[in-house]
Amino acid sequence: MSTGATLNSVCDVAWVFTYVAIIWRGFKDRSLGMPMVALSANISWEAIYSFVYIPPSNALLYASIAWFTFDIPIVWQCFLYGYKDFPSPIKRKNFGLVFLACIAISFSIILGIASEFNDMKGVYTGFGINCMISILYVYMLLRRNDIAGQSIYIGIYKLIATMFAFLGSCFDAPGDIDKTLSFQTLMTEIILEHTYPTTLLIKTLYAIILIFDLLYIILFYLKCTRKNINPWARF
């Protein structure tokens, strides 16, 4: 297995753990574990790269289908509990329509961006959505008065998944199939490589994601300690 494939495999597994943590905590607390807008964009991306734009790599295709499957219970959570995150004018009976409209809008925008930028691997859209998810998680944690639907493991698994996705991209650039994993090679790719999928935009998005993922973990830990809750015992 090539270096890039190994890194991407770790990313895939870490994302599965992230989804499982979200699903488990959401049903346990009867609370939406992912912000609605982030969820709408996320499942739209997975649907597009599973059934519309078939990725050139079978591994990416299988991963997209697996992520789409794991997102379905989170979508169900959104229909059940998502209305709690919104002001009273958005009642439970209207929330489903709002959520479906959000998915339709997200799907249309992501499909358009993928076509416009020829983003057949979903790198621009994927990292863009990932960046939005990280920011919205921090906002959700600050906005809510409790930690319902959240755990420190969600943040940790997501941080690991995105880190390995970025490192995998550094070994996925055209013409770099025979690269070996070394610190010098890795630093060269991260700093100097500017071809798809390691453009300056992707590097900037990843830096923002990393900052907000770390911020989420720190804020969640502090919020737990203020409530005398052990964050490591909260699976």
Radius of gyration of the chain, Cα coordinates, nearest whole angstrom = 18
The span from the CA of 30 to the CA of 3, in Å, is 40
Per-residue confidence (pLDDT) for residue 216, from 0 to 100: 96
Per-residue confidence (pLDDT) for residue 185, from 0 to 100: 54
DSSP states of 10-33: HHHHHHHHHHHHHHHHHHHHTS-S
CB atoms within 10 A of CB 176: 17
Nearest Cα residue to 167 out of 196, 192, 198: 198
State phi, psi for 87 to the nearest 5 degrees: -60, 160
The span from the CA of 167 to the CA of 160, in Å, is 11
The span from the CA of 27 to the CA of 80, in Å, is 10
Rounded to 5°, the CA angle 116-200-106 comes to 40
Per-residue confidence (pLDDT) for residue 11, from 0 to 100: 85
Domain parsing of the chain, residue ranges: 3-233
DSSP states of 16-78: HHHHHHHHHHHHHHTS-SS-HHHHHHHHHHHHIIIIIS--SSHHHHHHHHHHHHHHHHHHHHH
Per-residue confidence (pLDDT) for residue 173, from 0 to 100: 47
The span from the CA of 170 to the CA of 31, in Å, is 37
The span from the CA of 151 to the CA of 156, in Å, is 9
Per-residue confidence (pLDDT) for residue 175, from 0 to 100: 40
Let me know if 44 is exposed, middle or buried by CB neighbors in 10 A (0-12, 13-18, 19+).
Answer: buried
Q: How far apart are the first and last CA of the chain?
A: 33
**pLDDT in 10s for each residue of the chain, 235 residues:** 566 677 778 888 899 999 999 999 999 999 999 999 999 999 999 999 999 988 777 777 888 899 899 999 999 999 999 888 887 766 777 888 999 999 999 999 999 999 888 888 888 899 999 999 999 999 999 988 889 999 999 999 999 998 888 887 776 544 443 445 455 555 555 555 566 666 788 888 988 999 999 999 999 999 999 999 999 998 8
In three-state secondary structure terms, 86 is coil
